[in-house]
Amino acid sequence: MKSVKLESPAKINLMLSVHGQRDDGFHALTSVVAPLVFGDTLIVSLNEAGVDRLNCSDSAVPTGLANLIVKAAVAFREELGENIYFDFVLNKRIPMGAGLGGGSSNAAVALCAMNQLRGDCMTKEQLRAIAAELGSDCPFFIDSIPSKMSGRGEVLEALPIELSKALRGQRIVLFKPDFAINTAVAYIRLIESRPSVYESLELAANRLTLFKDTKKLEGLLHNTFEGNLGHKYLAIPCLLTELRLAGFACLMSGSGSCCFALAEDAGEVSRIRDICEEAWGSSIFFIETSIL
């Protein structure tokens, strides 16, 4: 095997409850995360150049050591203990600074692809451990199945099978304004607003229990960042309020700036698009997809 081509899915946070800052500087959180059919595509090949090389369809994406894919290659090589190098070709569709986990997904999928090229020499547990060192969201994308996320994001628990089945195929509409939100800045704003912005573990657990009992997403949707960041990025809460008044369940994903809405059919997708374009303009990022 000389090359591997894998899909690198985006994710949405169906719930993201931030509880407070930990002693190590990270934030404790409880989240329900689901992968999407929509995403990037990554081709990984062995090379003899003695250096990792990344080519990306989006010129705005850094291709050096600042990129998590290249960092993943370095970490994989160190864990393997071999001087092995890779070529990466990334077809980028997930927007940056969107809260859709694009960079984390790319890194985790790169780890899986490199492992395949080396004959599956590492277990998934080993890959998740490497991924956790790269970023809090990265371990989720080793398996990319609907999961409860806790700790700083590295503790994963797959949702019960019946809940995953209830989620699979749910029509999702993604829409993003023409600006990105830096994740580090988003967390700084939480710290500046503490403690009132943080939510208790009990509230998050109650929301998750209700979802398990009813299998209805509407009661699960919550994002600590949405209200906090809304004071600075007014375009987001204004549009989400309008969509909710129109009867659509919607939420900002992650630390933003991308948002999503639940839709039942093509007619609802069209109505959501009309509301979004009227608020943010016709050139916005707008994608119809579904939960994987």
Say which DSSP state 83 is in. Answer: -
Q: Is 92 a catalytic residue?
A: no
Core vs surface per residue 96-105: b (16+ CB within 10 A) or e: ebbbbbbbbb
Residue 63 and residue 56 in contact, taking contact as beta carbons nearer than 8 Å: yes
CB atoms within 10 A of CB 245: 9
Residue of 40, 137, 148, 176 marked catalytic: 137
Cα 30 vs. chain centroid, distance in angstroms? 14
Q: Is 11 a catalytic residue?
A: yes
CB atoms within 10 A of CB 12: 25
Q: Between the CA atoms of 185, 187, 191 and 194, what dihedral angle is there, to the nearest 10 degrees?
A: 130
Residue 92 and residue 7 in contact, taking contact as beta carbons nearer than 8 Å: no
Amino acid (1-letter code) at residue 283: S
Residue of 11, 92, 148, 176 marked catalytic: 11
The enclosing H or E element of 163 equals helix 161-167
Angle, helices 124-134/102-117, rounded to nearest 10 degrees: 140
Q: Between the CA atoms of 97, 98, 99 and 104, what dihedral angle is there, to the nearest 10 degrees?
A: -60
The enclosing H or E element of 187 equals helix 183-193
Query: Any idea which residues carry the catalytic annotation?
Result: 11, 137
